[in-house]
Amino acid sequence: MSETEFPHVFGEGNVGKFNVRNRVKYAACCVSNFNTRDGFVSDREFARDRVIAQTGASIMTNQGAYPDKSGEGKAYHSQLCINDDKYIPGLQRISNLFHDHDAVAIQQILHGGRYGGIDLGYCVQPSDTPQTLKHFRPPRAMSKEHIQRVIADHAAAAERAIKAGYDGVEVTSFLGYLMSCFLSPFTNKRTDEYGGSVEKRARFMVEILEALRKAVGPERLVIIRLNGTELMDEYGGNTVEDCMEIMKIASECGVDMISMVIGWHESRQGALGRDVSRTEWLHLAEKAKKHIGNVPLAFGPRLSDPWEADKAIANGVFDFWEICRPLLSDPEMIHKIKNGQPERVKPCIGCMLCLAKMFYDQPYICAVNPRLGHEIEPEYSITPAAVKKKVMVAGGGPAGLEAAIAASQRGHDVTIFDAADSLGGALIPSSRDISGGEVLMELLQYYLYRIQDLNINVRLNTAVDRRVAAEFDPDVVIVATGVRVKKPDIPGIQSEIVYDAWQALRNGEIIKGGPNVVVLGGGKVGLTVAEVLAKQGKKPIIVESNKRVDLDVSTTFKWRHSTLVKQLKIQVFTEAKALAIENGSVKIRDNEGNEKNLPADAVILAGPLEPNQSLVNDLEYFCDELYVVGDAMVPRSLYNAIHDGYRLGVRV
């Protein structure tokens, strides 16, 4: 198997006057927040850029820099800046890096618009449409003079990008950033020449594109990112037809490429998470291509499948595969595909942790790639061990697997023990999630390939205890035994109608009996099992003692569970306590102190969770080194388990 399996992805292409060796464009993937607060490239960012430069993409886009001196365009605390010549040297280090790897270097210009002004306490946009998300700043409408000043800022930023050695610029018009605010009727209520019809709302875009072309000249590239759909129908945003008309207008302005993106930050419908099919938006790319003619179209939202990408390029659906998050999770993705190993790509699991961190103005991280953002730190690199050790990993979940793989790469003799008949731990029950959970089985398959490639020993159906450990005689024991559900001390808890959520999900078990199921415990586990049961035709009720049922759910997934709870008509009691299980019902005390009897043909124990640490005490004085990782330390998220395991594996 070789690159010929994907002849169109690895075929040559043309953008403007540039000939490129493949059809892969590295997207300006989020704003990393690795840079300085005053917009200079940091050593941390440059170390990350070294990784980007080595991905194998033929077009590489540097993350968005804001162009204005006012700071109104600044959308993130540590966003790059390009509003002064003093930023040119730092930006040139990156363009040189991209060129050293035979790539076309593009600098993105990003004015935050509706989401900007992070240091000012206000934002600017064409009209004063109020924010729908509270953490963004109150808006101020722009005057015509202000509009012209912003256009001039973009042109000056483009000139600096060319001085910094870039082959062109890319301007953002999506997600609710400034240009998209002019394009959308939701945020553009103007009655002058910049508002009204699609053509008038597009005037700002046209004037910026004209200014950029003048600034960079005919030999350099001008690229624009545009929405294929905004997913803002409920707010009165652009329709798909409007978006296509806008793309046509942009194509007639002489742009060298259009990059299609999906959604706004305020969209209530998911665009990029794992609940969205990997081919969900391809039909929009096909539609757009018919509107923009010969202008190259770059596309990639959710499309991490190389077979689908190659087919789409072959069929003229789009021209360049634009990859973002999949290259965060596995920077070697393009090389693995080219070398005939697509099954060994560590998949992006669509958890949107990278975006969640950005919402909190934190440096972005990746759930499955612990090195992201830590490339500059030697302790995150895998180096040969000074002394070869015999390592016992107790538990084959994500924390144990990561630790085992990293330790093996260092040269240790590693064996994984698991009491179950297969590896995977919490990945298996979590994969039952009705909204794209199957991607977690792809992650597990990646781990299985790595274990195979590294010749790591595996002993299944073997629970570790003192006897097993004594027979194995390890130098190091890594306890990665995960969590268990803590049973409430209430009458009836030993009833045969009581099930454990993890076991029920792991086995794909359909709860027997009638339709009424009470789930004791919310959070990720309780919500997932309730949603699975509701899909099976059951009528689950969640009883949670905390104020929120989504207490441990990531910011970017709370809305999804909220939507599913409503769609599936799952009843939820928060600040409630289970008192007893008796006579086919669960007695609870609700948040007002009232006692209720909930009909229960089955009861699922989903929380609270507690670390499974019994082995820690058993082996306390048993071996030279004893470590605890993942949920066996503290019940948290999948990414904590993966990062814990990796960090331990690289230093053990």
Per-residue confidence (pLDDT) for residue 192, from 0 to 100: 97
The upper half-sphere exposure of residue 456, i.e. CA atoms within 13 Å in the direction of its Cβ, equals 32
Question: Quick one: pLDDT band at residue 1, thresholds 50, 70, 90?
Answer: very low
484: number of Cβ within 10 Å: 18
Written as six digits, the tokens of 190 are 């103007």
| pLDDT single digits (tens) 127-149 | 999 999 888 999 999 999 999 99
Task: Return the ∠ at Cα 552 (arms to 502 and 518), rounded to 5°.
Answer: 50
The share of the chain scoring above pLDDT 90, in percent, equals 86
Quote the CA–CA distance of 348 and 181 in Å, as a whole number. 30
Q: What is the 3-state secondary structure (H, E, C) of 319-364?
A: CEEEECHHHHHCCCHHHHHHCCCHHHCCCCCCCCHHHHHHHCCCCC
| pLDDT single digits (tens) 339-356 | 999 999 999 998 888 887
Q: Are 58 and 26 in contact (CB under 8 A)?
A: no
Question: Quick one: pLDDT band at residue 610, thresholds 50, 70, 90?
Answer: very high
First vs last C-alpha separation in the chain: 36
| Helices of type H across 120-184 | 144-163, 178-183
Is residue 646 among the annotated active site residues?
Answer: no
Q: Are 275 and 228 in contact (CB under 8 A)?
A: no
| pLDDT single digits (tens) 616-631 | 989 988 889 999 999 9
Same fold, 3-359 and 384-482+612-649: no
Question: What residue spans define the domains of the chain?
Answer: 3-359, 384-482+612-649, 485-610
Per-residue confidence (pLDDT) for residue 3, from 0 to 100: 57
- Kind of pairing between the strands at 476-479 and 577-582: unpaired
| pLDDT single digits (tens) 373-404 | 999 999 999 999 999 999 999 999 999 999 99
For domain 485-610, the CATH class is alpha beta
Of 552, 532, 562, the C-alpha closest to 433 is: 532
Annotated catalytic residue, options 115, 177, 447, 499: 177
For residue 554, is pLDDT > 80? Answer: yes
| pLDDT single digits (tens) 305-342 | 999 999 999 999 999 999 999 999 999 999 999 999 99
The share of the chain scoring above pLDDT 70, in percent, equals 99
Tell me the average pLDDT across 492-497: 92
Tell me the average pLDDT across 298-303: 94
Question: Quick one: pLDDT band at residue 266, thresholds 50, 70, 90?
Answer: confident
Per-residue confidence (pLDDT) for residue 326, from 0 to 100: 94
Tell me the average pLDDT across 47-71: 97
Which residues is 542 bridged to in the sheet?
519, 572
Tell me the average pLDDT across 52-73: 97
The CATH architecture to which 3-359 belongs is: Alpha-Beta Barrel (3.20)
Per-residue confidence (pLDDT) for residue 22, from 0 to 100: 97
Torsion sign over Cα 427, 432, 436, 441: positive
Quote the CA–CA distance of 55 and 53 in Å, as a whole number. 6
Tell me the average pLDDT across 10-19: 97
Quote the CA–CA distance of 191 and 189 in Å, as a whole number. 7
For 104-135, b/e burial (b = at least 16 CB within 10 A) is bbbbbbbbbbbbbbbeeeebbbbbebebbeee
Quote the CA–CA distance of 345 and 442 in Å, as a whole number. 9
For residue 84, is pLDDT > 80? Answer: yes
For residue 227, is pLDDT > 90? Answer: yes
Per-residue confidence (pLDDT) for residue 375, from 0 to 100: 95
Torsion sign over Cα 45, 47, 52, 58: positive
Of 311, 317, 314, 315, the C-alpha closest to 299 is: 317
Per-residue confidence (pLDDT) for residue 123, from 0 to 100: 97
Residues in CB range of 643: below 8 A, 6 or more apart? 365, 370, 402
Kindly report whether the global pTM for this prediction surpasses the value 0.85. Answer: yes
Lowest mean pLDDT among 161-175, 405-419, 499-513: 499-513
For residue 2, is pLDDT > 70? Answer: no
Question: Reduced to 3 states, what is the DSSP secondary structure of residue 139?
Answer: strand
For domain 384-482+612-649, the CATH class is alpha beta
Of 483, 425, 440, the C-alpha closest to 605 is: 483
Q: Are 216 and 169 in contact (CB under 8 A)?
A: yes
Q: Which helix (H) or strand (E) holds 516?
A: strand 516-520
| pLDDT single digits (tens) 16-32 | 999 999 999 999 977 89
Residue 319 CA, distance from chain mean position: 24
Torsion sign over Cα 80, 82, 85, 88: positive
